């Protein structure tokens, strides 16, 4: 029943995608827009195929994904450490909450000029922006998650004699997992946007520029079909991460335990 529903949802989505592609093609053939600005579906398809087969698009995608994976991991570890230490010390928590309140509303991309001055334009600068985009929403969500753990879980942990490490592993993290996952989703979305923007501005360093640079470059050469191909890959990666990876993690954890609906 459940898989049927998922399949039908997928097919339903696919149906509307086909409709949109059809409309695109009709508009393109009608010649309302300049073909250079609005390439036909086959042109985009061939651009996508050739850049995939030449390996350039895959290389840039992997470069971007590697950066974001690294950034997310660093941000995640940072946020969880801040939240756990904050959970133990009230004053430390006050400090980190204040810093988070200041840093959280600041878009990563707004920090770019400053980061260029401090760190130049290499991969480290992009990594910094990603970590910044991830760590604050994640920390804030974890903090809320830790605070909303029912008192009874803490008392049972005390009672059965869990030490701090075991309490974190067996109680605090699983109990606040719905909040943590929500934080990871927000962090991912922010980081992904920040990454693409930063790559476009920084350009290629050492021959690698990532997806952002890839589409920016296509614009420079007026290769609009290639540009759309790049956008297509960005969309596919976004859908894959949000609908497949996150969905799967939820199914294996919070949905399985019914700690979220």
User: Is residue 148 a contact residue for other proteins (CB under 8 A)?
Assistant: no
User: Is residue 153 a contact residue for other proteins (CB under 8 A)?
Assistant: yes
Distance CA 214, CA 55 (A): 12
In the complex, least distance from residue 153 CB atom to other proteins, rounded to whole angstroms = 7
Residues 32-61 binding other proteins (CB under 8 A) are none
Phi, psi of 36 (to 5 degrees): -70, -30
Contact region for other proteins (CB under 8 A) — 50-58, 100-108, 164-172, 237-245?
164-172
Q: Which is nearer to other proteins, 4 or 159 (CB)?
A: 159
User: Is residue 193 a contact residue for other proteins (CB under 8 A)?
Assistant: no
User: Is residue 156 a contact residue for other proteins (CB under 8 A)?
Assistant: yes
Size of the site for other proteins (CB under 8 A): 21
Contact region for other proteins (CB under 8 A) — 70-78, 129-137, 149-157, 239-247?
149-157
Contact region for other proteins (CB under 8 A) — 8-16, 60-68, 74-82, 156-164?
156-164
User: Is residue 177 a contact residue for other proteins (CB under 8 A)?
Assistant: yes
Cβ(183)–Cβ(138) below 8 Å = yes
Which member of 171, 204, 231, 241 binds other proteins (CB under 8 A)? 171
In the complex, least distance from residue 37 CB atom to other proteins, rounded to whole angstroms = 52
Task: Give one DSSP letter per residue of 153-215, joined into a string.
Answer: HHHHHHHTT--HHHHIIIIIHHHTHHHHHHHHHHHHHHHHHHHHHHHHHH--BTTB-HHHHHH
Distance CA 242, CA 36 (A): 32
User: Is residue 170 a contact residue for other proteins (CB under 8 A)?
Assistant: yes
Tokens 């061939």 locate to: 46
In the complex, least distance from residue 88 CB atom to other proteins, rounded to whole angstroms = 17
Q: Which is nearer to other proteins, 104 or 255 (CB)?
A: 255
Output the six-digit token pair for 56. Answer: 């350039």
Neighbours of 222 (CB within 10 A): 10
Q: Which is nearer to other proteins, 166 or 244 (CB)?
A: 166
Burial readout 10-34 (b: 16 or more C-beta within 10 A, e: otherwise): eeeeeeeeeeeeeebeeebeeeeee
Neighbours of 106 (CB within 10 A): 12
Contact region for other proteins (CB under 8 A) — 20-28, 83-91, 109-117, 157-165?
157-165
Tokens 């605090």 locate to: 172
Q: Which of 26, 57, 54, 64 is nearest to 227 (CA)?
A: 57
Q: Which is nearer to other proteins, 7 or 251 (CB)?
A: 251
Distance CA 18, CA 182 (A): 31
Residues at the site binding other proteins, with contacts judged by CB under 8 A: 150, 152-153, 155-156, 158-162, 166, 170-171, 174-175, 177, 253, 256-259
């Amino acid at each position: 029943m459940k898989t049927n529903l998922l399949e039908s949802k997928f097919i339903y989505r696919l149906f509307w995608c086909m409709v949109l592609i059809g409309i695109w093609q009709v508009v393109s053939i009608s010649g309302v827009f300049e073909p250079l600005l609005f390439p036909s579906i086959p042109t985009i398809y061939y651009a996508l195929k050739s850049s995939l087969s030449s390996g350039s698009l895959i290389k840039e995608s992997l470069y971007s994904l590697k950066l974001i994976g690294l950034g997310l991991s660093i941000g995640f570890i940072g946020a969880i450490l801040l939240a756990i230490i904050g959970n133990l010390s009230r004053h430390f928590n006050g400090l980190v909450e204040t810093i988070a309140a200041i840093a959280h509303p600041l878009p990563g991309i707004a920090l770019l000029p400053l980061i260029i001055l401090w760190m130049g334009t290499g991969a480290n600068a992009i990594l910094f922006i990603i970590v910044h985009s991830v760590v604050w929403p994640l920390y804030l969500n974890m903090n809320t998650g830790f605070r909303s753990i029912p008192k009874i879980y803490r008392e049972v942990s005390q009672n059965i004699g869990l030490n701090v490490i075991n309490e974190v592993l067996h109680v605090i993290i699983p109990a606040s997992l719905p909040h943590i996952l929500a934080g990871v989703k927000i962090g991912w979305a922010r980081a992904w946007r920040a990454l693409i923007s930063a790559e476009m501005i920084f350009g290629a360093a050492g021959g690698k520029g990532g997806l952002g640079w890839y589409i920016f470059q296509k614009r420079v050469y007026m290769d609009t079909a290639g540009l759309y191909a790049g956008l297509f890959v960005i969309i596919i990666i976004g859908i894959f991460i949000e609908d497949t990876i996150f969905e799967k993690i939820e199914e294996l954890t919070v949905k399985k335990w019914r700690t979220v609906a």
